[in-house]
Structure 1
Amino acid sequence: MNRRTPASGIRRYLNAVNLGGLAMVVLSTLPLYWMIASSFKGPGEISAAPPGLVPESATLGNYAEAFVRNGIGRYLLNSVLVSSVSTVAVLGLSFFAGYALARTPLRGRGAIMTTLLMLSVFPPIALVVPLFLLERQLGLLNSYAGLIVPYVALNLPFAIWIMRNYLVGIPRELEEAATVDGAGPLRTVLTVIAPLARPGLFTAGIFTFTATWAEFLLALTFNSEDGHRTVPVGIALFTSQYTVPYGTLFAGAVAATVPIGVLVMIFRRSIVSGMTSGAVKG
């Protein structure tokens, strides 16, 4: 007579969890694989039924079409510029604002944090018309600043939330020791606190960069000139009135995804550390 031991039950549970995790990985990576594989297919293979999982005759024609004829390289450079400047500005402002909320005795701190959280989920579509009118009066339409300024304003509340929650976990004794050694407040913050807050900065930076990189509505509304369009708008305009170049769209999507994937792979440990050590603290 076979009896189930607790160890065998735990083993079966872990195997089920592993299988479930493997299934989730496959399901989450399948769209990415399909996008990459389709970017190397010709028009006939993309529209074939049933579709093939592997390109029968791989071609770089879609990438040549995206970069040479449609100029996606220029859109990528615009996105890199806008997203990088916006991210640096957000990190600089959110670090000092988060430090003030973490260390300074402020009245109504809970209300401030609640307001920041509410602002971080505020729908940007509600601000398109007033922002468009304001930027038209200021002469910021069809410029990099016309995107950078609203991007910084929209992403700053969530970045402050992340930084404040991370900085709360840094011991005050480190600042007191630096003060005893003769360091001033600014030097203490920059040389002692900032290095320890790098995981939180990486987390806020990746969230900000990804949000600005993928933003479509404001970029489409504020920059109608081709020279200042970002990559999401540029890819959306690949289509014409009568045709939809799916292969070119897939190639452009792959080119737009690569920078984000590279950043996540490089800073993955810092991102996980920042999310688990700082972003979940109250």
Structure 2
Amino acid sequence: MIKKNQIIHNTFFCIFLFCFILLVFFPFYWMVNTSMKTENQLMMTPATLVPLDHISMKFLPSSINYQAVLKNTLFLHSIANSIIVAGVVTLVSLLLGSFSAYALGKLYFRGKKIILYLILTMTMFPRVSVLSGLYSVIRFLHISAIQSMILSYFLFTLPFTVWVMTSYYRQLPSSLLEAAYVDGATPFQSFFDILLPLTIPAAVTTGLLAFIAAWNEYLFALTFSSVSPKSRTIPVAIAMFSGTVSRQYPFGEIMAASVVITLPLLILVIVFQKKLVAGLTSGAIKQ
């Protein structure tokens, strides 16, 4: 009876796992599938699961959408803009976030809990609620679109980085700091030489999440680059794609561009895979 129940349980678990994997990966598969179809193939009804020739119905993938995207100078320029914006935001957020997390996680001073609650409160505000006021300030100060995006992205990457990194610093044993103080180390030396190397997996994890958030951000980028098309980042550039003929919506090119911009994120995850897993699980064991 127990064996029969276990078989039933395993069967339902396998079915659930298959449905979950299908639900998660099918949109990505459909994106790649659509990016490899021509205009005629996209107009076929019903839609096909693989690129097929609309006459012979043979498997016939096409790279025409990728060629069009990679020849689009505005799209290539938007990739450079996104790399600059997301890279600067991530590095500065990690730098300031690590210092702040060290102070909030290991040092003792008045008002520390209040500061933590304020940081948590900042992450709860919807971004659209501060957009109009922030746009007015930036227009008044005559800040460029790229700089505006970098400064505005700190509103959601910096509180997130500080809050997450603080939890990692709290997990580190205080005996390390006490031993460093006994040896004559200053608080900065204790942070830079002892604690910071131990939090590299956590920094990689937090930095990657902050980079993805800045890389995919659309609302602020659309607002601040509205008067400067050359400053558009990738999400805005893709949204502004137009067809080669009147009333054409370039589904194939949009999907091809989506595949192209997904590759850098995929490469980052693969390169930092070990540190990413270590960072996600570093807080699972109580010190």
When the two structures are superposed, what TM-score results if normalisation uses the length of structure 2?
Answer: 0.89
Q: Which runs of 5+ in 2 are unaligned?
A: 53-59
AA of the residue aligned to 2:216: A
1:119-268 aligned within 5 A: 119-142=122-145, 144-224=146-226, 225-239=228-242, 242-268=247-273
**After superposition, where does 1:266-281 map in structure 2 within 5 Å?**
266-278=271-283
Q: Does 1:78 align with 2:74?
A: no
Q: 2:25 aligned with 1:29, yes or no?
A: yes
SS in 2 for 1:252: helix
- Take 2:13 and 2:110, find their aligned partners in 1: how far apart are those partners? 46
- Misfit runs of 4+, over 4 Å: none
Distance 1:110 1:262 in 2: 38
Q: Which runs of 5+ in 1 are unaligned?
A: none
* Cα deviation digits, residues 99-120 of structure 1 (max 9, x gap): 1111122334333323222211
Aligned to 2:57: none
SS of corresponding position for 1:71: helix
The count of aligned residue pairs is: 276
- Label 1:104 to 1:67 Cα distance change in 2 as closer, same or farther (>3 A): same
In the aligned structure 1, how far is the partner of 2:285 from the partner of 2:230? 41
2:261 corresponds to which letter in structure 1? A
CA change 1:86–1:23 in 2 (3 A) is: same
In the TM superposition, residue 238 of structure 1 has moved relative to its aligned partner by: 0.2
Contact 2:74/2:230 (<8 A) preserved: no
Matched to 1:98, the amino acid is A
Query: AA paired with 1:32?
Result: F
How far off its partner does 1:213 sit?
Answer: 0.6
Structure-1 separation of matches of 2:260 and 2:197: 33
Q: Deviations over 1:165-217 (max 9, x none)?
A: 11100011122223334433222211211111112211211121111111111
Q: How far off its partner does 1:249 sit?
A: 0.6
Q: TM-score, normalised by structure 1?
A: 0.90
Q: CA RMSD in A?
A: 2.1
Report % sequence identity: 32
Aligned residues of 1:162 and 1:278 also touching (Cα < 8 A): no
> Which of residues 5, 12, 17 is equivalent to 1:9?
5
Aligned-partner Cα distance in 2 for 1:211–1:90: 12
Higher mean displacement: 200-209 or 262-271: 262-271
Match of 2:63 in 1: 60
Residue-by-residue CA offset, 1:233-270 (whole Å, 9 max, x unaligned): 00000036722111111111111111112212222333
